[in-house]
Structure 1
Amino acid sequence: MEHRNEKTKKLKRPLILASVMLGMFLAAIEATIVATAMPSIVADLGGFSLYSWVFSAYLLTNAATVLIFGKLADIFGRKPIFITGVTLFLIGSSLSGFSSSMIMLIIARFIQGFGAGALMPIATTIVGDIYNRQERAKIQGYLSSVWGISAVTGPLLGGFFVDILSWRYVFWMNIPLGLLSMLGIIFFLHEDIEKQKRSIDYAGSFWIVLAVSSFMFILVEGGISIAWNSMLMYGLICVSAFGFFLFFYQERQAADPMMPFTIWKYRIITTANVTSLTTGMIMIGVSSYLPAFVQGVMGQSATVAGFTLTTMSIGWPIASTIAGKLLLIIGYRNTSLIGGTSLIIGGVFFFLLTPELGPFWAGMGSFFIGIGMGLTNTSFIVGIQSAVGWKMRGIATAANMFMRSLGSALGAALLGGLLNGQIKAYIEQKGLSGKISVDTANNLLDPNRNASLSAGIRKVLQEGLTTGLHLVYTGLLILAILSLLIIFFMPKKAEEE
């Protein structure tokens, strides 16, 4: 592919990079701005028990489509697939802003997730195409700066929209940014597509959506609205197991599988992908539920809750920039081990978090999680793209994104299920199951409704939310420890070549 590399030198790479970064910004800002607004959204629309589905819906379609978009980009080119992704993302954003119920919002987030499935992997692949191996580590630092920019603007805009205007602008603000990103790619990215007949693994995509969605439904609703020993639960378990079995069978039979198992023969790819599954669960656990703790338990504003997430997104790009240089000196494995250690430190901060420790303690835990994510993810992406050739780069990058997205989707469902189950159990323990429910926790997130609660009810809800979130943060610490253990299996630098 040397002729391709020569042509990339003639491209307006800075303008393409800027357009790609703007597209990535749309997905990156979701981590802070939507999470910051979620307590206000739930207070307005109701349905606290559906809280995690606002994240899970987005992450489910994101995870399910990231591989298919990666395959389509190899066939039709990066440009049309990236533009399609941005378009779908903006349609979902518009509908999210117009939502009048939690169900409508969740459906809109499904659509938004379809678009997001193309944004991150295709953007990363475009950068991998137009920059050579020596430049790639440095450019990862620039890409990671997107998270820093979103960290500063996300909570500021999220807090501003929630406190001054309306949470709906959290979604509508994506429209002008998405249009700018599309225009940049349309005018500056030029591709020579080699016409070739290749099959598209639609069946693989269908089976993984079926398997993951039913599994997420089990995690979120099990023991809450669906009894564990009910026929419906047994049916969901069978559907999920059947879906996973057919997915693996389909991938072994398909001419061009959505998830080619051949890439897993590289040990660096295997360890990076499995670790990305667990770190994806950690990331969503922090970004989804930290605002609920800061607002619902600590009684702080949406802006303060947003800034406790800001520290994660500031630590991420700082660590990524350092990782770009560090991995060239001490290797992917040692850089990743430092990142895994930082994840555990952050997990300990959250495990020890109490309302009395305040937002600063929460922000410190968030910062160390960000450092860990920056060090590990940069090492993983550069290592994966260096381990495979041009023809494999797109699908190898997409596979890693898929595992992280799948981890985030499963994490939102699993941790959401733990939270709802613990709150329900605490309410029953206090003998108030007939008077209040999990959805009554909506009132903690609205200052006006919070003030109207009796002191006794408010105390029970806050204590239930506190114990539920402590269980979530215990889960985060366990996932951090597991991530570090997996990284130990990563090959040393000599074995990566």
Structure 2
Amino acid sequence: MTETTGRHRAAVSTTTPITQGEQAVLDTLEEPRQRTPREIYTIMGGLMLAMLLAMLDNLIVGTAMPTIVGELGGLAHLSWVVTAYALATAVATPIWAKLGDLWGRKGVFMASIVIFLIGSAMSGLAQNMGELIGFRAIQGIGAGGLMVGAMAIIGDIVPPRDRGRYQGLMAAVMPIAFIGGPLLGGFLTDNLSWRWAFYINIPLGILALVVIWFTMKLPAVRRQAKIDWRGAGLLAVAISSLTLFTSWGGTEYAWASWQIVGLGVLAVVATVLFIRSQRTVAEPILPLGLFRSRNFTAAIALTFLTGFALFGAVTFLPQYQQIVQGASATSSGLLLLPLMGGMLVTSLLGGQLVTRTGRFRVLLIVGSFFMAAGLGLLSTMGLGTTQLTSGLFMVVLGIGMGFLMQTTMLVVQNSVGRKDMGAASGAATLFRTIGGSLGVSLLGTLYTARLTSSLTDRLGATGGGQVTGGQLTPAMLSQLPAPVREAFQAAVTSGVQTAFLWAAVVAVVAIVAAFVIQQVALRSAADTPKEPVAA
């Protein structure tokens, strides 16, 4: 028996004999059948629908968020509507990735869509902020399997060097999601109800399930192994504690309070125990051996920082546009077009450049500089900033995000062997989501603290508390007395400036991570990772 097959035997089970059928599956995993372009296009059709579902959600909800928070009350809880979703996604992502590795990607992928749709329906029915946050968590659990499943399937069927050839298919999803998402969210909010920002997922999800069921033909793989539930639990505790630490510190509780100190200690202890468990368990959720690759580790760090920036921009820009610049929900969707357009154009351009030249390092460096610059420019927006000026700032950020998002995933997948594709894709999605979760919670804390402080200075403690804790939608602003309205707009501006300034500081670290990544040859088949080459 070959050394490769021996490694796979150990991965399947240390005690259970391998049948001929199981061995055939293992051979298929190591040397996959080359698919025709027509077969790949057919499979990609189902993936496009699922990715559209995942991409649309936060973009649709983003423009509806000011109205949602205003109707249900509790501006201080704005970040938690996004954080609950992102946190649940982060915790669920490695579990979905491992389930796909163990039981086959198609069935697991479809199960994640079903859970996502259940969470969407429940979110649309929410009657208060507590219910909405809880239902968004259910939605996030399903979302954890959408992107990681799609990325892992693409990694299975398309070699890295050939992936740019199919970039046009993914590009067909991006303009619909990036441009149509904010517009659709604003239109539904203005003309129907913010609840339709969640209900719209249901027909799209059912269509995705039907297409995937009939078109996606993947090998049915089931390996004899167990899910590392202990590791999953420790990971959940670590991420949740860290998110609560950054979200509650300095707002709900003082930084020196026993609650915040306890959360910090719990996060550290859970992280240490999680790392120890991953070193000894047979089927780790997050194989630590992946981090031996310099490129993999640096790309994961860059992915984390990209998620931090993206979630922050999508969360806080509509607040500024609707409350300060006076845009409607629909108009704020239009005003996000510079950001989404910049992402779309550079993502397409970057994919073509990688396919033609095999060079990706320069895209990461350029993208990280643009991301930091864009966030820095957005932090300068004031009460008098025009929509044209803020639009130009968003273009800069969009250019950086477009170069980074897909290129970082490509580097991650190119740094591992095919048998670890699911785990690597899951790790990238996990850290991007953790970045988004921590970004929204930390930036949300800074935003809320600065907003509250500004309102208190202008209106006093009682007046400021009534504004932040009451039900105040952007449409109600015109009904407020002029001094109160101006104070609220100034407070939102100050909060947005603070959030983007700190996001820009964090993004500077992305520049360092981009320079750490080495240029390597992209694989043209499912072979082993290549050694670095001259940049």
Aligned residues of 1:275 and 1:487 also touching (Cα < 8 A):
yes
Task: State the TM-score, normalized to the length of structure 2.
Answer: 0.88
Q: Whose radius of gyration is greater, 1 or 2?
A: 2
Aligned residues of 1:29 and 1:147 also touching (Cα < 8 A):
no
Percent of paired sites with the same residue: 32
Deviates more, 1:90-99 or 1:250-259: 250-259
| Cα offset, 1:251, TM superposition | 1.3
Aligned residues: 496
In the alignment, what sits opposite 1:128?
155
| Cα offset, 1:392, TM superposition | 1.1
In the alignment, what sits opposite 1:91?
118
| Cα offset, 1:43, TM superposition | 1.4
Between the aligned partners of 2:304 and 2:200, the Cα distance in structure 1 is 30
In the alignment, what sits opposite 1:151?
178
**2:401 paired residue among 366, 373, 376:** 373
In the alignment, what sits opposite 2:505?
478
| Cα offset, 1:101, TM superposition | 0.5
1:239 aligns with 2:266: yes
- Name the CA shift for 1:312/1:10 in 2 (closer, same or farther; >3 Å): closer
Between the aligned partners of 1:269 and 1:121, the Cα distance in structure 2 is 16
Between the aligned partners of 1:478 and 1:30, the Cα distance in structure 2 is 28
- Name the CA shift for 1:268/1:274 in 2 (closer, same or farther; >3 Å): same
In the alignment, what sits opposite 2:446?
418
Residues 93-131 of structure 1: CA deviation (Å, up to 9, x unaligned): 000111110111111100000011000011111122222
1:167 aligns with 2:231: no
Aligned residues of 1:214 and 1:239 also touching (Cα < 8 A):
yes
What residue identity is the alignment partner of 1:90?
L
Deviates more, 1:404-413 or 1:135-144: 135-144
**1:104 paired residue among 111, 120, 131:** 131
In the alignment, what sits opposite 1:385?
413
**2:360 paired residue among 320, 323, 332:** 332
Between the aligned partners of 1:290 and 1:305, the Cα distance in structure 2 is 9
Between the aligned partners of 1:438 and 1:62, the Cα distance in structure 2 is 33
In the alignment, what sits opposite 2:14?
none
- Name the CA shift for 1:337/1:423 in 2 (closer, same or farther; >3 Å): same
Between the aligned partners of 1:434 and 1:10, the Cα distance in structure 2 is 65
Residues 187-223 of structure 1: CA deviation (Å, up to 9, x unaligned): 1122333442122111111111111112211222222
| Cα offset, 1:444, TM superposition | 5.7
| Cα offset, 1:348, TM superposition | 3.0
**1:466 paired residue among 488, 493, 512:** 493
What residue identity is the alignment partner of 1:387?
S
Between the aligned partners of 1:296 and 1:45, the Cα distance in structure 2 is 17
Deviates more, 1:232-241 or 1:201-210: 232-241
3-state SS, counterpart of residue 194 of structure 2: coil
Aligned residues of 1:296 and 1:444 also touching (Cα < 8 A):
no
- Name the CA shift for 1:462/1:10 in 2 (closer, same or farther; >3 Å): closer
| Cα offset, 1:18, TM superposition | 1.4
**1:355 paired residue among 361, 383, 389:** 383
| Cα offset, 1:483, TM superposition | 0.9
**1:286 paired residue among 313, 320, 337:** 313
Between the aligned partners of 1:65 and 1:438, the Cα distance in structure 2 is 37
Residues 149-178 of structure 1: CA deviation (Å, up to 9, x unaligned): 112221221121111111111100101111
Between the aligned partners of 2:359 and 2:43, the Cα distance in structure 1 is 29
In the alignment, what sits opposite 2:39?
12
In the alignment, what sits opposite 1:322?
349
Residues 420-466 of structure 1: CA deviation (Å, up to 9, x unaligned): 11122223334611233275376663323x23322222222222211
Residues 300-355 of structure 1: CA deviation (Å, up to 9, x unaligned): 21122122323222222321221122235262211111111221331232022223
Unaligned stretches of 5+ in structure 1? none
**1:259 paired residue among 282, 286, 291:** 286
Aligned residues of 1:268 and 1:496 also touching (Cα < 8 A):
no
Deviates more, 1:409-418 or 1:156-165: 156-165
3-state SS, counterpart of residue 283 of structure 2: coil
- Name the CA shift for 1:456/1:443 in 2 (closer, same or farther; >3 Å): farther
| Cα offset, 1:387, TM superposition | 2.5
| Residue correspondence of structure 1 range 275-314 to structure 2 within 5 A | 275-314=302-341
Unaligned stretches of 5+ in structure 2? 1-26, 522-530
RMSD, matched Cα: 2.0
| Cα offset, 1:227, TM superposition | 2.4
- Name the CA shift for 1:277/1:389 in 2 (closer, same or farther; >3 Å): same
3-state SS, counterpart of residue 355 of structure 1: coil
In the alignment, what sits opposite 2:105?
78
In the alignment, what sits opposite 2:3?
none
| Cα offset, 1:181, TM superposition | 0.8
What residue identity is the alignment partner of 1:50?
H
| Residue correspondence of structure 1 range 48-67 to structure 2 within 5 A | 48-67=75-94
Task: State the TM-score, normalized to the length of structure 1.
Answer: 0.95
| Cα offset, 1:270, TM superposition | 0.7
Between the aligned partners of 1:463 and 1:270, the Cα distance in structure 2 is 41
**2:95 paired residue among 51, 68, 72:** 68
Aligned residues of 1:279 and 1:479 also touching (Cα < 8 A):
no
Between the aligned partners of 2:149 and 2:496, the Cα distance in structure 1 is 35
